[in-house]
Every structure is written in structure tokens, then in C-alpha cells.
Structure 1
Amino acid sequence: MKIAILGTRGIPNYYGGFEQCAEFLALGLVKLGHDVTVYNSHNHPYKQSNWNGVNLVHCYDPEDKLGTVGQFVYDLNCILDLRKRKVDIILQLGYTSSSVWGWLLPKSVVVTTNMDGLEWKRTKYSGKVRSFLLWAEKLGVKHSDHLISDSKGIQDYIREKYGKQSCYIPYGADVFENPREAVLNEYGLAKQQYDLLVARLEPENSIEIILDGVQLANTNRQFLVIGKDETKYGEYLKKKYRSSRNIRFLGGIYDMGKLDSIRYFSNIYFHGHTVGGTNPSLLEAMASNSLVCANDNSFNKYILGIDGLYFTDSNDVAKMLEKTDKMQDIYQAMLKANFAKLKATYSWDTIVSQYLEHFKSIVGNTTRSK
């Protein structure tokens, strides 16, 4: 099959979850003998037209000049280029800025869209933006022949709201088995003597709830905040907690080997995400031997089940920090169970196979009106 992947800034991954998904998926499909094209921003650091057998098409992307509006221009340029090519399957990763151009997608080619999380629920957006995102979601459903959900919660939502079936395929993660203790020396850390969170510093990721809990807790362990903090909200957080003796803002760490090692040797990893499906950072935490304490919601519970800890407020966070020692047998059993889940359900080989089966089942089956 000839498969085109839209909706990311490109591969190899220098940005986030969908780029990571596109990278592993494209490589896996090429190894299985398929012809894969991934659309890349012209600003992407990798400028070649082929990467490990994956065809790359670089399209003009003015996001650096126009901000968010530039994403819409970039998606339009990708779709206009795609109309000139012959492919069997178009995979859209997300819909936010491409859905307004969905009517331009070639009607003779099967379009399947990964619906991402419930973007319109994100509290960082204004009411007008959230209304637009809900409209974009509707357009994403309308202009797709088939839909993919990365969590059971999203699958239920799409069925209940739009009366549409979607194929459940989660994100993937590879088990991390080569931790480097030397990384701890770089940051002045000791094994199991610190806790942390890794996230975009945004309100819906429960950052303040977690850090308020750190301040309430009677513990001497350091608490690391890892995520880009040179933002308006990041500056607010640094100012609010600057007098805390335990809390350290480390900014973003983009070397995955370092980040996974820090997660591996931590005591508790807090995952505060409240919006979205199968969050890549949660799988990465599980893959790097982290004992996860997650926001108590259906998305996180579907992944962790009984093999995680949960919080709803700052008092819960404080209690977890005071009483939980990762090395206890009960928690070591949770870690082993999460490793088993990753290998059985969330390995990239498994995810690639699921996407391929989905593509085989829908090729040639367009449902949009010609």
C-alpha cells in the first residue's frame, strides 16, 4: 500500500507525541514493505527527502512568522501537494488545523483520522477557541471515512456524540532498560530520593494541585518539575513556588536517555493530565520503571488500572509523598505488571501491526460523498 501521513511537524521526531507516533509507524510500515510518505514542515531540522526509507515531503510552514494561523497554512499546503499524488490511504494524526480543509481531501482516497484527545475541553483556551475546536472536531469526523481512537474513553465519546464507530489503537512505548546513574550526578540527585512530574506546564495537567501537595507534605525529598517553563504560566508557577525548599524547576529535558534515567531512579512520578486519550508521557513513565501517581480519571485508569496510585486533590498528593516508598514489595509488583502491559499491549511492534490491520480492512472503502 501507498500511505501518506499528515498532521505532524515531521520526522524524525523533534517535537511531541504525534511526531513520535508518525516516526515509529512510518519506520515499521516501511520495514513491512509498504510505501510511506510523511509530510514535514519546511522548518524541520532534517532537510532530506528520504529518512530510513520513508519518503518526506517538505511543505511551507509559516508558524514561526504567523503563530497558530501558520499551522492552518501548513496543513493546506500539505493537502494541496497530496492531491497531486497517488496514494491508497491518508492517515491524519489530529484534526485541529486541517479540518477546515477537509473538503479538499481527494474523495477517491480513503481518509482515516486519529481523533486525538478532547482538545475543546482544555482550560488554557478561551471560550471562542474552545467553540472553534469543537466545530473542528465535528469537521474532522465529517471529512473522514474512518476514525481511530487512542483510548477507550475517546472511542466511547465518539460513539455517543457522533454515532460513529472508531478503531481503538493506543500509542506505543518501548521498555527502557539502560538507566544511567551518571545522569543523577549531573543534577545532584540520589536514587529514590526525589519525586517528579514531566509535562507541558498547563493548568489542565494539574500542576498547581501537585505542587500545592508538595508544599503540604512533610518530606525532605526534592521535587523536580520538568517541562518548558519559559511561558506565561511557567513564570507564574516559578514565582508562586520560589520560596519552596523542595521544588526545583529544571525546564525541558529533550534528551530521552537522560529523561528516562531520571524517571527510572525517581520515587514517585506524578501524572496530572486530565484531558486526552492514551498520553505518551504516561506510557513513557511506565516504560522507564516509574511508580506512577496519576490524576484520578477514566483515561489514566484505563491504562494503569490497579497498577498505579491516584490523586484528586493536594491532600492526596501530600499523603502519597509522605507514605510511599517505591522499593516496597507492593509497588515493585506494580512496576513489573506495567512492564508486562507495555510488552503485551503498547509495544511499537504491536501498534504498527494494529495500524496495518486497520489499513487493510479499510483500503478502497470510502464513505464520503464523491
Structure 2
Amino acid sequence: MQQTEIPFHFLRGGTSRGPYIRREDLPADEATLAQVLVAALGAGHPLNIDGIGGGAAVTTKVAMLSRSDDDWAEIDYFFGQVAVEERYVDFKPTCGNILSGVGPAAIEMGLIAPQGDETRVRIRAVNTGARVEAIVRTPGGRVEYEGDAAIDGVPGTAAPVMLKFRDVVGNATGALLPTGNLRDEIDGIEVTCIDVAMPMVIARADAFGLTGYESAADLDANRDFYARMEPIRIEAGKRMGMGDVTKSVAPKFGLLAPARDGGTLAARYFMPWKAHPSMAVTGAQCLASCALVPGTVSDGLLDRPEPGEALVTIEHASGRIEVAATYTLEDGTFDLESAGLLRTARLLAKGSLMVPGSVWAGA
């Protein structure tokens, strides 16, 4: 049986990369779709040797795009997190770094026309319902990739992609604090279970005997930490109403520590079975929100900004990321109106992905 061709664009979005594909060029049902993505990225092998994955969670991500029928959005963005060493795809979460490439990819694919020197692309994150406005440079009617914007975790500079997130509170669980508590104690560790852009379980690094400044490699080598952390994450997932999260990448896990290089606070983010080499865009919004809410595990780690417009600078394993948050705090109720971040993206390749015809014979 011949292989099936699937048109794709391959982009780096923020500190992640992967194929961007029209949703209509893929199977409609999720079971077959998962098999196709597993085959395309080579999931089930540590090097993804039989696919285009890069052997790490940040390089086994897929963006599926289509024109939106939403009253506000122009583009629907459906995300798939493909496992590295397992033949598995998680469609529950979204990814803010990959979202950085959605605007450029939508223009490259002809899903939206450029609008001048800058093109505003209104995006609905299908997995979570979040609404995001991306501002992409398009001088002369073409996406510009070269520029002077730098983000930690990516070498060199590129054209900026500005992202403004809305409607990100409680997307996965229906509440900012899904357990109803600012803090919960699980297995002797105090955590804050919070859902902003990405549901997370957040603890202080010193609760695990860590500094919070460890490198990603050092954290991954500390298997005792993972053995302690993972049961806490699984129990927290149950308490957050997410069911059995043993096979799911959500909720993610985060550690907080005081800043040491002039930021607001330091953090480490887990995907969740490996440490993120830098920081997820969705995770940054959730960690920033945790920092802004009094009574969470962030208390005592930072000088909390006043409500209104606040810049939260998170020091991570590869540098720092800034979240420009607009929020209110009235009678103890936190409301995040929007969160803005600067990212970059670059088109790396385009053409046809090949998957075995026995997996999917095509539309």
C-alpha cells in the first residue's frame, strides 16, 4: 500500500517546534487522527527515528488549523501533544509556544490574508476555549521572520510575534481554584491547584529540598524528586476534577523560589515527566497568576504587584519570560482580564508529510 501525503508547514513557535497542518487534511475522528500523528512524528522511540519528532516533548507538538466559525475568532487552533517514547497523543492541553506560530502559519497557508505591515490574527484555542490575538509583521504582504526580538531559550533574534490572551481562567476545570482552596496539602507538601491557561499544581521548591535554581538536566537526573512529585500531581488532578491524569500531560507541575536575578520570582516547569528547558507560554501565565493571588504558595517569595497592569518576570532554566498581566482583585476575587507575551516564530520547512497507507489511506 502506498504512503499517504499530508501537506504541512514546519515552524518553530516560541521555544517549541512542529508541523502545522490544515485540519481538513487530517482524519476527522480523533482515534485515527492520533494514529496518524503518532506515525508522522515517530512516537514510541526516544529519537523519534521513524518520524519528524525531535526526541523531546517540545519538539513533538502539532498544530492543526482551520477557518473559525466563532463570532470573534478568524482561526481555530487545535493542538496535539504527541508523546516521545509512547505511541500516544494528548488532545486535552494547548500550547502557547506553538501558538506563536499559528498566525504566521495561517497566513502562509492562505487561511487569512495579510492586512498591511502588521496583521492581527484572532485565534480560538479549540482545546481550551481561550481567545488570543496575535500580531504578525507582514510588510509587502509576506510574513517577516527576521528581526531584533530575542526570547530566552532560542538562539539569535527574529521578528516579534505579540500575543494577547483572553478568557484563560478556568478553561480546563471551570474555576480559578478547582479544589476551592488557595492551598491544599498532599502527601505532606503544600500546593496551589490553579487553572489559568494551563491547569497546574504549584509548590515551593524548598518543600522538596530543592533551591528552585537547578538546571533542567539536574532536575531530570533527580529521580527521587519525580517519584515524590508524580503521585502528588495525580492526586491533585483528581481533586481538580480532572479524573485519572496518569496518562495526561495536564495538570502540569511547577516549582517556585525567590528571584535571584532581578525578576519577580524563579520557577521551574515540568511537562510533566521532564523539566521544560525554558518555560511554556501557558505555564508562564498560570505561574504569574499564582504569584498575583494572595494566599497561594507564592506568599513570601515576592513583592506582589498591585492590581491593574502588572509585569511579572519569571526566571526560568534558560533565562526569563515576561507576562504583562491586566487584572483586578476585589473582595479577594482574582480576575485576569488579559495576559500579553512577546514571542518569535520561524518557518523552517514546508512540503508533504508521509504516513503509511495502512495507518490512514487519506480523505
Same fold, TM exceeding 0.5? no
Q: If each structure's helix is expressed as a fraction of its own residues, which one has the higher value?
A: 1
Q: If each structure's strand is expressed as a fraction of its own residues, which one has the higher value?
A: 2
When normalised by structure 2's length, the TM-score is: 0.31
- The answer to which structure, 1 or 2, has the higher relative contact order (CA under 8 A, 6+ apart) is 2
For the pair shown, which has the larger CA radius of gyration, 1 or 2?
1
When normalised by structure 1's length, the TM-score is: 0.31
